[in-house]
Amino acid sequence: MASIDGTTNSDVEKAEELKLLANEAFKAHKYHQAIELYTQAIELNNQNAVYWANRAIAHTRLEEYGSAVQDATKAVEIDPRYSKGYYRRGAAYLAMGKFKEALKDFQQVKRICPNDPDANRKLKECEKAVQKLRFEEAIAVQDYDRHSVADSIDYRSIDVEPQYAGARIEGDNVTLDFVKKMMDDFKNQKPLHKRYAYQIVLQAREMLRATPSLVDITVQNGDHFTVCGDVHGQFYDLLNIFELNGLPSEENPYLFNGDFVDRGSFSVEVILALFAFKCMSPSAIYLSRGNHESKSMNKIYGFEGEVKSKLSDTFVELFAEVFCCLPLAHVINEKIFVVHGGLFSTDGVKISDIRAIDRFCEPPEEGLMCELLWSDPQPGLGRGPSKRGVGLSFGEDVTKRFLQENNLELLVRSHEVKDEGYEIEHDGRLITVFSAPNYCDQMGNKGAFIRFKAPDLKPDIVSFSAVPHPDVKPMAYANNFLRMFS
């Protein structure tokens, strides 16, 4: 027997079976598989709000917050009294930093379930976050009135206590011996003295400020070059990359392609190690901005809280300034374009346009800089809306045209978890590389890096598994209410 919308009883039963399979996949952290199964259930019965809300939370786990909002919205359209729909949309809005929209959804949850203690607790946290946001907006100084915090710091005037036994920088130069000692201390969870932390970050700022928005890298014939993707505060996995592939040096140079911090709870150790290598030898390591090198992301996903806990409030401001100095893209031997996110909403963007971006700011919500940091490839042709709710999705034809118009051969980008640590798409013209294995201690993925050897620069991809780390959970320093949802 068929219902008004053409759904038969057997469709309904089959859809329920698929939902149960999807729930099992979700519990096993197989979120892509869960989404596929919920999608099949929805195709058989698209009037069940639960399927849409469940698919929304699977999207949230993959950081596809734009898709999560769409699915949760569909769930509450089908059943306006379905509290989980509002709840999951609110959680996705929170993850996007859209606190005011999230607040409306949690208020709706409270109306539907006035006696749910969990919903009340989350509503209170969200109200606090929105109040704090309004307060910060009210006291924010216009950019042109703001003085650089870096200019007000004199690290030389900071005394080092005689009992300090950690790594020390003698004079002005960061040496390999210092970096090794510092990383060893970090490995044993010993902090670096603030004087040396300031010295590293301020010196890195000077170097990064002097670089263009798009950096050209030359690899001589017979030499090699390594590109790593997101590390996301996974310091012990970063050490493992250096074990597998050698420390950064002029003979063994690296590019780390953004998202050094947030989520993983050793982000301070990661960023100080990368900046220290930059100070030691500018051509041993190149650093690209990711979408998480921004104030709004750091406020939500843990870096700000971690910096306050391990260093100080002044360092929060200082890192925000330095992140605005990071270049946005790199080109290797005029052949390989490397960027954190992806391509653009319009055709005809030239390398010279990227060079001309004034990057010394927080990432805007649209335009070339935003798209470089946020976009993702899609399997279909053309362009589509972003699963993340920021940037866009771009197809193989877009990649091919961009490369052809700029006389390039390959696009390398990061920004997305991949099961093997990498994925080759768009007829071999695009490679995603992601270097945080078992991301957030739960995705079970491998990490990867790519070695290129000149002159042919064929990608040699190395996958690796996660290594153990001290018992500090990912997101340990994240915004209070965000931890409630993770």
- Known catalytic residue: 292? yes
One domain for residues 253 and 154: yes
Would 4 be classed as within a structural domain? Answer: no
CATH at residue 374: 3.60.21.10
In 3D space, the residue among 416, 249, 257 whose CA is nearest the CA of residue 336 turns out to be: 257
> Residue 66: which CATH number?
1.25.40.10
Domain check: are 171 and 124 in the same one? no
pLDDT at 4: 46
Residue 284 has pLDDT above 70, yes or no: yes
| Euclidean distance between CA atoms 464 and 140, whole angstroms | 44
Residue 104 lies in a domain: yes
* Residue 1, domain member (yes or no): no
Residues 116 and 253 in one domain: no
Per cent of the chain over pLDDT 70 is 96
The answer to whether 300 touches 268, Cβ cutoff 8 Å, is no
What is the per-residue pLDDT for 485? 59
pLDDT at 145 over 80: no
Quote the CA–CA distance of 198 and 200 in Å, as a whole number: 6
Output DSSP code: residue 335: T
One domain, residues 172 and 234? yes
Strand order across the beta sheet in which 329-332 lies: 214-217, 329-332, 336-339, 410-413, 430-433, 422-425
Domain end among 139, 158, 191: 139
Within-domain flag for 414: yes
Residue 261 lies in a domain: yes
Say if CB 273 and CB 178 are below 8 A apart. Answer: no
For the stretch 154-190, pLDDT in tens is 999 999 999 999 999 999 999 999 999 999 999 999 9
Task: Tell me whether residue 431 is in a domain.
Answer: yes
How would residue 1 be classed by pLDDT, with cut points 50, 70 and 90? very low
Q: Is 454 exposed, middle or buried (CB count within 10 Å of its CB: 0-12, 13-18, 19+)?
A: middle
Q: What's the CA gap between 158 and 226, in Å, rounded?
A: 37
- Output the pLDDT for position 134: 79
Beta bridge partners of 392: 385
Predicted pLDDT at 140:
67
Hey, is 112 helix, strand or coil?
Answer: helix
Name 450's bridge partners: 227, 461
Average pLDDT, the chain: 94
Which one, of 294, 352, 349, 281, lies nearest residue 325 by Cα?
Answer: 294
Q: First-to-last CA distance in the chain? A: 42
Q: How many CB atoms lie within 10 A of CB 265?
A: 25
Q: Which residues pair with 391 in a beta bridge?
A: none
284 lies in which domain range?
A: 150-485
Which residue among 104, 119, 139 closes a domain? 139
Structural domains counted in the chain: 2
183 and 120 in a single domain? The answer is: no
445 is a domain residue: yes
- Domain match, 165 and 121 both: no
Residue 284, token pair as written in the block = 């041993």
User: What value does the mean pLDDT take over residues 28-36?
Assistant: 95
Considering the domain architecture, whether residues 43 and 158 belong to the same structural domain is answered as: no
Alpha-helical regions (H) of 233-362: 235-245, 267-280, 295-301, 303-310, 313-323, 351-355
The verdict on 241 and 162 lying in the same domain is yes
Are 87 and 105 in contact by the 8 Å Cβ rule? The answer is: yes
Same domain, yes or no: 182 and 292: yes
The confidence score (pLDDT) of residue 8 equals 83
**Pairing mode of beta strands 447-453, 422-425:** unpaired
Phi and psi angles of residue 465, each rounded to the nearest 5 degrees, phi first = -100, 165
56 and 157 part of one domain: no
Least confident of 51-60, 269-278, 474-483: 474-483
Evaluate whether residue 459 is within a structural domain.
yes
User: What is the model's pLDDT at position 142?
Assistant: 58
Angle at alpha carbon of residue 467, lines to 450 and 308, rounded to 5°: 95
Looking at residue 126, its pLDDT comes to: 80
Least confident of 87-91, 184-188, 433-437: 87-91
Mean pLDDT, residues 60-76: 96
Which of 193, 292, 340, 426 is catalytic? The answer is 292
Displacement of CA 283 from its chain's centroid (Å)? 24
Out of 112, 139, 166, pick the residue that ends a domain. 139
